[in-house]
Amino acid sequence: MTIDASNVSVEYLAGNVGRLSVLPSDSSVPIWSRIKLFVVSRNIDAQLTDTSVQLSWPDMLTIIREFGSRTIQKSLNFRFRPNGIASEKLQAFAAEIRQTRIQQTTLQLSITPDQIEAQLIDLSFTERKLKSFQLRDLSRLLSLSNGANFSVPGAGKTTVLFALHMLTRKPGQHLFVVAPKAAFQAWRDIVDECMAPDAPNNVTEHFTVLDGTEESTAAALVSGATRFLMSYDLMLRQQGVITAHLARKPVHLVLDEAHRMKAGFQSQRGAFLLNVATLPVRRDILTGTPMPQAASDIQSQLDFLWPGHGYGLEVSRGRPPREVLGNLYVRTTKQELGLPPANRYFVDVAMKPGQLALYSIIRSEFLRQFSASVNHEMGQVQFLKARRSVMRLLQLSVNPSQALTAMGNDDYEIAPGIADAVMEEGYSAKMAAVMDHARKLARRGEKVVIWTIFTETIRSLASALVDLNPVTLHGGVPSGSDQDPGTREGRVRRFHLDSSCSALIANPAAAGEGISLHKICHNAIYVDRSYVSTHFLQSIDRIHRLGLEPGQKTDIFVYRSKAPPEIGSVDLSVSRRLAEKIRNMQILLDDPDLHEIAFAEEEADDPIDYDVNFQDLIDLIAELEGRMPVSVDEGE
């Protein structure tokens, strides 16, 4: 006896929303229970009733891929029944999955580099001749329906993308780029740098920067312009306008520095981009650091490029990202750019007594509070508190007097003797060594960029190195005209043109993107580093990038604070974690330069001071706390 199969209706609704539904009589069948369990267990944002599930269309595609195979439908005795436009969309989705699965392993190029050059000339793309590696990457991207460009900074990702746009655009199609503000200038300049000024058919149209109200954005999008540029921050504040535009117009959507959406549904930025991913006619992502922290960082980027394909899920289940991606990305390495390797040096400096005592107390308090509770199940409040303690240790390793001042809001009890010793010591030995190094370079007529993660340390160094006439860059410095000395661009210009300005002191999080210093500066000093590999790698790329003179030497100096072996060095922890993260990216991207950076971290001597043991440290703390005898006869 044959039992009739249950039907699960599939609908596509306005707003890029999907709905699954069953008849009341089928609400208890196995497939319906499984679908609802899948939605709940994956924390998918959905409206659930006894007979319907309403969710975003990208999430709908994930469910269709998960349960839609003939084998599963037969085994669970049901059929997906698409209605109306949903049928066309699911047919296109199935075809895209088949095509992409083939391209993962075997990518058939649809156009040769010679054909690309000829077509670009016909389109008046004549002001910039593409290099061989750019033509190679472009030919691969043109053979993909969506693409990822993971090339290093300086390889011309913006140029390649603009050429891709010129070769793929159709009448009425828009190009919409989401980028950090630091990258805006490159997009503003790209048209003039590539297109002949007398080109016909309005191909020299410049990007319209969307930086105003929702009303002004909506007006710009229907103004007849076709190229748009917007920041990630404004995108979040104007989600409705952007979603409506993506649904209404054929849009080529580009994410520059796409790792900024790495948190996926755990962030507003990632959630919005994943929810609208099926709307654009083409999607491309650009980033030189697709996995800044862990393999999980790339999951949301893959799900944005190929929604419903399950690539992010494959990574989450442990499959190596490189296997998942296959041929679906391009990367140009520094070796391919012909850049000589940068020289990397690690300089380890012993802490002063007061600094070491304070550092040891905060380290012990950190262990007391968190050694037994730091795990994936810890609450958000506890996690944030632990992270603040780690930042305090990092600050203590470089600028103990500033850290001590900041501790006024923390739950630490610091003995007056230790606090007095820290304040009397002034600059840490590491900061003093960095300042000596910067002055030595200045005396040789060389400029230097000094990197630190703390704004207060930037200010301290700028004040102490006033004789070097430094400029500073941090999150509080606004973007603007390079003629304005108070803007980011104006300060970078002064560093380039003012021979008396020997140092740029900057925060990698704020200045690691969008500036080029390689024409004027070939020395970088790291006073401290965070655990974020993106900040470290991108800051290196400010002085080590395409355009260096042949044979030009680039020196990278990483300063680290020494600590006794029983106490441990937070700077060593940073080194180990950066090495691991960079090594993981090297495995994904097969990049010899990343191998060299990771190898340098792994092979550097540990910043551990074996001349100080644990009992020595206990004695030091007791002395600074005033608990030791007034005098001791060393001969006894």
Domains of the chain: residue spans and CATH:
6-104 (3.30.70), 110-332 (3.40.50.10810), 343-623 (3.40.50.300)
Going across the sheet that includes 78-82, the strands are 46-48, 52-56, 17-21, 6-13, 78-82
Share of the chain above pLDDT 90, in %: 68
Note the pLDDT of residue 453: 93
**pLDDT tens column, 396-435:** 999 999 888 888 767 677 888 988 999 999 999 999 999 9
Q: How far apart are CA 82 and CA 103, in angstroms?
A: 27
Note the pLDDT of residue 613: 64
The residues pairing with 52 across neighbouring beta strands, listed in sequence order, are 21
Strand, helix or coil for residue 430? helix
Note the pLDDT of residue 192: 95
Q: How far apart are CA 531 and CA 32, in angstroms?
A: 44
Average pLDDT on 62-87 reads: 93
Question: Is the pLDDT at 50 greater than 50, yes or no?
Answer: yes
Tokens matching residue 104: 């993962």
Tokens matching residue 484: 């304005």
What is the band of 201 on the pLDDT scale with cuts at 50, 70, 90?
A: confident
What is the band of 243 on the pLDDT scale with cuts at 50, 70, 90?
A: very high
Which residue did the predictor score with more confidence, 199 or 162? 162
Closest CA to 79 of 2, 8, 4, 10: 8
Share of the chain above pLDDT 70, in %: 94
Average pLDDT on 206-222 reads: 97
Question: Is the pLDDT at 68 greater than 60, yes or no?
Answer: yes
SS (H, E, C) 184-253: HHHHHHHHHHHCCCCCCCCCCCCCEEECCCHHHHHHHHCCCCCEEEEEHHHHHHCHHHHHHHHHHCCEEE
Q: How far apart are CA 450 and CA 525, in angstroms?
A: 5
Global pTM?
A: 0.86
Average pLDDT on 342-359 reads: 93
- Residue 258 DSSP class: G
Strands 523-526 and 52-56, sheet pairing: unpaired
Tokens matching residue 370: 């968190």
Contact present, 594 and 582 (Cβ < 8 Å): yes
Which residue did the predictor score with more confidence, 390 or 616? 390
**pLDDT tens column, 444-467:** 999 999 999 999 999 999 999 999
Which residue did the predictor score with more confidence, 238 or 295? 238
- Residue 445 DSSP class: T
What is the band of 37 on the pLDDT scale with cuts at 50, 70, 90?
A: very high
Question: Is the pLDDT at 623 greater than 70, yes or no?
Answer: no
Round the average pLDDT of the chain to a whole number and report it: 90
**pLDDT tens column, 311-341:** 999 999 999 999 999 999 999 998 898 888 8
Question: Is the pLDDT at 371 greater than 70, yes or no?
Answer: no
Question: Where do we find the tokens 């054909």?
Answer: 115
Note the pLDDT of residue 2: 44
Which residue did the predictor score with more confidence, 154 or 291? 291
Helix (H) or strand (E) holding 46: strand 46-48
Segment 93-97 long-range contacts (CB within 8 Å, at least 24 positions apart): 93/61, 93/64, 93/308, 96/145, 96/306, 96/309, 97/65, 97/308, 97/309
Tokens matching residue 601: 């971290």
**pLDDT tens column, 540-573:** 999 998 888 888 999 999 999 988 888 888 888 8
Strand, helix or coil for residue 469? coil
Strand, helix or coil for residue 546? coil
Question: Where do we find the tokens 């990518």?
Answer: 107
Burial of 60 (0-12, 13-18, 19+ CB in 10 A): buried
Closest CA to 148 of 273, 283, 274, 264: 283
- C-alpha dist (Å) from residue 340 to 132, 443, 534, 600: 19, 26, 21, 16
Note the pLDDT of residue 624: 59
Tokens matching residue 593: 């330069």
